[in-house]
Amino acid sequence: MSPEENPKEAAIALATVRHKDGVAILRVFTREHGIVGCLVREGTKGARRGRNLHAPLAMLDLVGFREMKNGLFRFDRAERPLPQERTLLEVPRSAVAMFLAEVILRTMEAEAPHPEVFDALWETAECLERDSAFARIHLAFLVQAVRVQGLRPDAPVEPPAWAGRFNLAKADWESGPPLGEDFLSPSEATAFLRIQGTEIDKVRSQPLPSDARNQLVLQHVHYLQLHLSNPKPLRSWDVLRTVLAE
């Protein structure tokens, strides 16, 4: 069978939702199609293997990937290019994976390709499995997502004398008090803007207090959602914050 007859699509698992008896919809992030839903069977032999393949941030090659008439997709089988045993078995790594999957699901519009973000998430999933230190890997991904989406603010790192706040929706300084989630204080904004110019490897490895890291993570999620969709709460955040508490 030729590659055209049996296509393979790289995908990252995000979440699974029940569809009907014996069938679920696996939401995946693909490079070419963005976020799409795939019909998968439940309750078959090898169910544990199936759950592992469908775990958040599972890196998959979907063989026989094809679109159906109802807008959903199917595939013949899923292959793992990298066994993600540490991500599956270690609670802190699993919490990071769940958080990043939810960020993508609640930030990116469905069926809208974001190839640079996909590449960054794929690399992040590899690092999450491989690296011994990963407490800032989710922050590093968010900084990279801002950059590859062309959303890096074109504003001075230090606030002008007249500025009282940084407006995340406008990505610029303005006067007025920093009231509400859309606004950062001058000190918060300076930290947010300064990290935009940091190399991703340094973001992953540089020492950063957990409170400062958590604040930057939430600011980046809110910033991306303001510019790519709409702000939405993340249910996985409280778990991740607790698991990574120092």
Inter-CA distances, 227 with 81, 109, 146, 212, Å: 32, 11, 10, 23
pLDDT band with cut points at 50, 70 and 90 for residue 201? confident
pLDDT of residue 51: 52
For the 8-152+196-243 domain, the top CATH level (class) is mainly beta
Q: Which pLDDT score, from 0 to 100, does residue 207 have? A: 85
pLDDT at 214 over 90: yes
Does position 182 have pLDDT exceeding 80, yes or no? yes
What pLDDT, on a 0 to 100 scale, did the predictor assign at position 4? Answer: 53
3-state secondary structure the chain: CCCCCCCEEEEEEEEEEEEECCEEEEEEEECCCEEEEEEEECCCCCHHHHHHHCCCCCEEEEECCEECCCCCEECCEEECCCCCHHHHHCHHHHHHHHHHHHHHHHHCCECCCCHHHHHHHHHHHHHHHHCCCCCCHHHHHHHHHHHHCCCCCCCCCCCCCCCCEEECCCCEEECCCCCCCCEECHHHHHHHHHHCCCCHHHHHHCCCCHHHHHHHHHHHHHHHHHHHCCCCCCCCHHHHHHHCCC
| Cut 0.85: pTM above it | yes
Per-residue pLDDT at 44 exceeds 50: no
Whether 3 has a pLDDT exceeding 60, the answer reads no
Q: Are 82 and 59 in contact (CB under 8 A)?
A: yes
Per-residue pLDDT tens for 117-142? 999 999 999 999 999 999 999 999 99
Residue with tokens 């090659």: 61
206: confidence class by pLDDT, cuts 50, 70, 90: confident
pLDDT of residue 53: 79
Tokens for 105?
A: 């699901």
* Average pLDDT score over residue span 6-34: 89
